[in-house]
């Protein structure tokens, strides 16, 4: 759970503090010690919850990037047929495209591919002093009618795709999913501890004797009232109101 700020050492420390609180010789000391434990556990709960939410935001962002990559790769798969029909080495054509979009801006990359079929790789067939083979003529016609329009649609997004691939979005996404699972476990563990500690604090609050209640400062007394069952709380507040009226009279 360390990745989410709730390592086992932190939880073990809270458990040890709780055990010390429960071993206090008087109910007042137990109450005060339990207050400290609950406060520390609440702080830890806020920390692990915040960490989990941050990882969940990262998941949403990375999922969008992952979808972008998948959608773009579907376009590249469709483009592969055009490379095979136009070039002796389709892999070289794809490599040139990647270099253009990875190293230069969109406008420059578009200008280069619009210069003709030869700009990406060696076309199929031959062109010898203007005498072209049938395969060369077919390739050039296909490039102008089909492959070039597809490239013009793909190139504006290809640079961003290259950047995301370099950032290894897929691996980062898997890491975030792992962190989210750890974070959920951390939140669950802290919440279980908080429920237990608060229950004992509420029991201690109800168990304080009158003399011990008188030793509480104003803040402690107000917090204690908030921990009491509704009927006990109403009775105390009513008694305080009555006392106030008498003293005012």
Same domain for 195 and 133?
yes
Helix locations, 208-217, DSSP H: 210-214
Same domain for 48 and 138?
yes
Same domain for 46 and 112?
yes
Same domain for 208 and 221?
no
Same domain for 185 and 231?
no
Residue pLDDT, tens place only, 169-213? 999 999 999 999 999 999 999 999 999 999 999 999 999 998 999
pLDDT at residue 62 in the model:
96
Residue pLDDT, tens place only, 95-122? 999 999 999 999 999 999 999 999 999 9
Same domain for 154 and 233?
no
Same domain for 220 and 210?
no
Check if the beta carbon of residue 213 is closer than 8 Å to that of residue 224.
yes
Going by C-alpha positions, the residue among 10, 78, 96, 14 that lies closest to residue 48 is 10
Number of structural domains (the chain) is 2
Long-range pairs for 72-80 at CB < 8 Å and ≥24 separation? 72/154, 72/157, 72/158, 72/161, 73/161, 75/150, 75/153, 75/154, 76/154, 78/150, 79/147, 79/150, 79/151, 79/154
Same domain for 208 and 239?
no
Cα–Cα distance, 49 to 235 (Å, whole number): 36
Cα–Cα distance, 214 to 69 (Å, whole number): 67
Could you tell me the pTM of the whole model? 0.74
Same domain for 90 and 171?
yes
Structural domain of 227 = 216-249
Check if the beta carbon of residue 191 is closer than 8 Å to that of residue 41.
no
Same domain for 35 and 99?
yes
Same domain for 195 and 210?
yes
Which residues of the chain fall short of a pLDDT of 50? 1-4
pLDDT at residue 71 in the model:
96
Q: Which residues contact 202 (CB under 8 A, 6 or more apart)?
A: 227, 228
Same domain for 205 and 245?
no
Hunting for tokens 């104003």 — which residue is that? 218
pLDDT at residue 130 in the model:
79
């Amino acid at each position: 759970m360390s990745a989410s700020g709730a390592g086992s050492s932190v939880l073990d420390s809270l458990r040890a503090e709780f055990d010390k609180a429960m071993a206090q010789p008087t109910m007042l000391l137990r109450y005060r010690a339990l207050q400290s434990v609950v406060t520390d556990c609440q702080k830890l709960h806020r920390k692990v919850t915040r960490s989990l939410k941050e990882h969940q935001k990262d998941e949403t962002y990375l999922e969008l990037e992952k979808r972008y990559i998948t959608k773009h790769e579907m376009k590249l798969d469709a483009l592969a047929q055009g490379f095979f029909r136009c070039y002796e080495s389709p892999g070289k054509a794809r490599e040139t495209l990647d270099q253009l979009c990875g190293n230069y801006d969109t406008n420059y990359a578009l200008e280069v591919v619009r210069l003709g079929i030869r700009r990406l790789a060696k076309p199929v067939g031959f062109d010898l002093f203007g005498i072209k083979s049938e395969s060369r003529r077919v390739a050039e016609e296909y490039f102008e009618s089909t492959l070039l329009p597809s490239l013009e649609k793909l190139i504006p997004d290809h640079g961003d795709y290259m950047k995301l691939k370099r950032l290894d979005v897929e691996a980062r996404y898997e890491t975030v999913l792992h962190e989210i699972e750890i974070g959920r476990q951390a939140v669950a563990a802290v919440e279980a501890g908080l429920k237990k500690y608060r229950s004992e604090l509420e029991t201690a609050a109800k168990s304080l004797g009158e003399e011990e209640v008188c030793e509480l400062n104003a803040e402690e007394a107000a917090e204690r009232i908030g921990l009491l069952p509704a009927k006990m709380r109403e009775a105390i507040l009513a008694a305080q109101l009555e006392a106030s009226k008498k003293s005012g009279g």
